[in-house]
Structure 1
Amino acid sequence: MPTDHSRDDSRRVSLLLGLLFGLAGMGSSSAAIALPLIGSDLDVSAGTATWTISLYTLMLAVTTAVYGRFSDLVGIRIPLLVGVSLMTTGAVLAAAAPTFETLVLARMLQGAGAAAVPTLGVAVLNGRYSGAVRGLALGRLAGMAAAISCLGPLLGGVLEEALGWRAVMALPVLGLLVLPVLWPALTREGSGARLDLLGALLVAFTAAGVVLVVQSPSTGFVVLAAGVLLLVLGTPATIARVRRRPHGFLPMSVVRNGTVVRSAVAAAAVPASWFALLVAVPGVLVAHGWEPWQVGLLLVPSAALALVVPRVAGPLITSAGPTRAIAVAGGVATVALVIASVGATTVSAPLLGVGVLLVTVAFGLGQPAMTAAVADAVDADVRGVALGVATLVFLVGGSVGSAVVGGLGEPIGVGWSLAVLAALPLLGLATITAELRRPAVLD
């Protein structure tokens, strides 16, 4: 059972975790601002350059459940240390990459390491606090993470202007400075069971298939065929693995838990919107004469707003319940995408800025609401993997969001690609309709 620590402790721990989460998120937000220069420097198209975001986010998604399961087995300290080490190594390699192919591989390694942060961060808070204190802590984590991520484009733009895009790639190395301060709050205890590596690989291949199919319009038939093949082979193989190993990488108790699955699917529209705008806004404005640092400056109000959102998110999750909070976040995400779609079509910076402001609110509410819903729905011995699986689905949504803009942005335009994506939050709401009809259960 979670233990209620002092509010001062919950504030410190949650803000530090949010800082680490934000630095991991900077791997996308700061890199997105550098995409135009990366494309021209390494001789690839704008649509192809978005693979550095999509594949980063994909690795972030597919390995996040590995860390969740790993933490159940050995505690949080070792998995988080491994993850932050991989994240910083990938950042250094990306900064030194001589070719686009090398850059993509380094970004994938960076994403595989950064995946430790979101899952293990919320696992720390869910295991350490309960009730209203937990809700506030989760809200602070999401708010700080969103604020740092929103500052990523500005910092990335300034660094790109002064030192070039390679310096932007190295930003996540700063995560090494946060880990020692967090160390005392991290647990070392686990169940000692073994990790189902085959199950993890099957899930990774299947999720990769989704992203390849979505981004294939900008990359051709070979990528589409590869994605379809991964889906056709990976989906039944994953199902068979779960049935054969009910306590493996995807525990049957988690997969069959309707609250976990529905909450994750519904909430996935939020990062889809977030990552879509991270790619779309710089792409549209830089193409029309804006400097990267000017785009970053446009997004600074979102960083300030992100710090305020937890004051609303925590109490709303506690009073209305996590599922209703997810529904609100999905609705806000849809509005954000519609406004940003108009902004991209008309090249209106104010509308694009409003879209980012709204999606910041959606992220600051949707992410802690999803983690609270999942944590409440499972037993403590599988909480880490349940949060990992939910975060996997959540972040696959982010990868799909950037892939939609990268894949459809060239054939139909960025504005229309955002309009297509605006339907995703509505589909997510449909998955939790039954749960919305139930009375809210308050902590």
Structure 2
Amino acid sequence: MLAATKRIGFGAAVMALAVGLAGCSGSPETNDGATKGAPGAPKAPGAAENAPHLIGDGSTAFTGAQPHLPKPEQLKPGQKPPQFVVFSWDGAGEDSQKLFSHFRGVAKKYNAKMTYFLSGVYLLPEEKADLYDPPQHGRGTSDIGFNDAEGIKDTLRELRGAWHDGNEIGTHFNGHFCGNEGGVGTWSVDEWKSEINQAKSFVKNWKTNAGLKDEAPLPFDYDKEMIGARTPCLEGQKNMMQAAKTMGFRYDSSGIGDQVWPKKTDGLWDIPLQLVPVPGRDFETLSMDYNFMFNQSGTVNGDPSQHAYWGNQMRDGLLEAFDRAYNGNRAPLIIGNHFESWNGGTYMTAVEDTIKTVCVQKDVRCVTFRQLADWLDAQDPQALDKFRGLGVGKAPKGGWTALAAAPASKSPSPAARPAGHSEEH
């Protein structure tokens, strides 16, 4: 697992800086995440009729409808919307830190569903690196490296289990290239199409690429499962969305926004990370572990005496953001994370504490981006327009019934950005 640990750890070192934004629960199952007789699990003799329908080389399979998915229902006029919270993970690989498996267990304990944005190269072994032909970079290069057989098997186990738990497998694409020298923000629409196709290919062909013929397939058709993304460093969103809207995507979470209701851009739900409070400071930062880290220590190995304080600051900032939505406009709260132990793992503790606190509250639904998009699509567009007219933390005057009866209003203007604001992760 050493190679996998270095791989994911190095990914943190090459992330773009957020200049200007100053500032274990019980272990989960360790098998393939599928119970006996479940889709994708080993079948007993005579159970061939229940075998999954293999796709391609058998790396993926159609196993029927995903379990544990809620059925979206349209709100009645004047009904208060639920408070949605989306916890999402960029990169989504299992390495020696075992954070993927840990948070799968946390999610199950607190009835939360999450979105895992998989980096395709996490299923590509180092010796097959030349199969990756990244835009504007040499064949076989990646700013987050590749994987080894053990890391691939561990990641596959968690992906299977995550899907069976009702979670979503999106994409974080492949090589995580950032900046002006060939970074994703400089890519054309056609280059993005190549990157997306390659991300799909590495998931659909890991058995051939890694030689892991005896491993169980992933229990989904990735052409249908992969409907959303977050770009590396939050760069290149415009051209990526132009490519993605022709390739089966339904949403993107690469933007930067406020805690207001999302809208569609070019036919895709644009569901950005959000500016949230930094308790004790006079600015807000993005709702992501990396941004809190950068604005606190500026390094992944800051002063150990400050670790607990920094983690508590992130937790309290996320809870303040939750409270102002929950008691205000009920805009979905979007939280992004990485499976990393920065500053002694304090941000992982902050995220876990947030899950424990918010996902058990009345009318709160901790969901995936897919589930949120399903719910948004089921609503009356005019009702959503009215929701978008509510500013950050602002409950409707006269209540939700009065809002339903009022004429639609324009969406609020975005809040002013901190000076020098730039994108991250």
Fold conserved between structures, TM > 0.5: no
Give the alignment's TM-score, normalised by structure 1. 0.24
Give the alignment's TM-score, normalised by structure 2. 0.25
